[in-house]
Chain A
Amino acid sequence: MIELRDVHKRFGPLEVLKGIAARVEKSEVVCIIGPSGSGKSTILRCINGLESYDAGAILVEGARVDSRAPSIVAIRTQVSMVFQRFNLFPHRTALENVIEGPIYVKNEPRAEALDRGRALLAKVGLAEKADSYPAQLSGGQQQRVAIARALAMQPKAILFDEPTSALDPELVGDVLSVMRRLADDGMTMVVVTHEMGFAREVADRVLFIDGGVIVEQGAARSVLNQPQHPRTQDFLRRILHPL
């Protein structure tokens, strides 16, 4: 479904991705973990063309991702994104945020989009917040609206860029449980996260990235429970036992 072939990316003199090769199959949940600045988010941003890449290829359902080509719009409607800082449109209500893409990008009839939008808000547990503005919602609620907005595009995959990193600890659980339900429904998901519990419970596979390369990858439990590479071991030790 998503394939990365030897992807390189540099910001000026700094090479942030040094040959990333990975595949994400349909209905698979892949978690990307690694220290900050390792290039995790950049991978996600390259997949839906928010960043360009310098060499290699990224394919979504066989179509090459090129952030400057008109075809990028079609790819973005198939691969949604959920951001660390939610990025809801502050001047629109929760429901309006959700129906914005279906109405203005996919030209769905308004009534249909509204019905589906309400159903999606109900699905993330926010049916009664449809008419609230983002500023009136907690971080966790905003992120769940953002997930509903991503789902409204009826994507084939969703990219999550540290979806719980900006949340107060007590709000993390609501967002993770919504994500877990999506995974159970068979959604293809690529999740950059520091939530090792989520990775262990929900992910099929885990990629550990450091310094712009995939240091280790494999089934979630084996990478997280018996990491082979010393850098993975070191990283996990620090995350799980910060003191």
Chain B
Amino acid sequence: MEKFLRDAAEFLPILLQGVGLTIVVTLGSLILSTVLGLVWALLRVSGVRALAGVSAGLINLIRGIPIIVLLFYLYFVMPDFGIALSALQAAIIGLGLAYSAYQAENFRAGIEAIDRGQIEAAQAIGMGWWLTMRRVILPQAVRIVLPPYGNIMIMLLKDSSQASTITVAELALQGKLIASSTFKNTSVFTLVALMYLTMSIPLILLVRHFEKKAGHR
């Protein structure tokens, strides 16, 4: 135990740098996936068959490709087409794209759960499609969507470790580097696990809060 604490004191500063990048990747891809997911979901429920088809196709395409392959594609293949992304950019875009598919399905489920009478009431006072979405459907859908959204946040936090495969020096990669140079595998990976867990706990509590709130109404 004493040895572990000594190791911890030594490695913590380096690992914390990794935590910083983990948070950047997670937040960046969370925002991107939320925006894209909302766009896909709105296309899907637009009532325009062509748009819904495009959205459904995109979602299935994204869902069918492993995140790691998506990341490799963005980081190693795109330069061949003249698009050179930094590792961090590729990580955020790749994870953002991958998760936009899950976000979209969550948002769509939330939107479709709203009673049809709500749409009719909005139409009956002259609201168009977008106004109905903005003022009537989305505010109600948020409540339904939030608990699963919290779970997606937790999954995204953990999947941000996949950015290590394209050289983003986030928490997992920092841990791996320290472990391979010091051979203190047990201390290092225990620390890494504890740090992921520490970041997850606030999110888990947040999900619980959302679920309670959703249950109340």
A interface, CB within 8 angstroms of B:
48-50, 73-74, 76-77, 80-81, 83, 85, 87-91, 100-101, 104-106, 135, 149-150, 153
Contacts and interface: CB of A to CB of B under 8 A. Distances in A.
Interface in B121-141: 121-128, 131, 135-136, 139-140
Interface of B: 115, 117-118, 120-128, 131, 135-136, 139-140, 143, 217
Contacts, number: 58
Q: Per DSSP, are chain B's interface residues mostly helix, strand or loop, or mixed? A: helix
A83 B115 CA distance: 13
A215 B136 CA distance: 39
18 contacts: A48-B124, A50-B124, A76-B126, A77-B125, A80-B124, A83-B117, A83-B124, A85-B117, A88-B121, A89-B121, A89-B136, A91-B143, A100-B135, A101-B125, A101-B127, A104-B135, A105-B131, A135-B217
B124 A76 contact: yes
Contacts of B140: 89-91
A49 B124 CA distance: 9
Contacts of B122: 89
B127 A87 contact: no
A85 B122 CA distance: 14
Contacts of B131: 104-105
B118 A77 contact: no
A1 B10 CA distance: 84
Given A89-B121, A105-B125, A106-B126, 16 more contacts: A50-B120, A50-B123, A73-B128, A76-B125, A76-B126, A77-B125, A80-B125, A83-B117, A87-B118, A91-B139, A100-B135, A101-B126, A101-B127, A135-B217, A150-B125, A153-B125
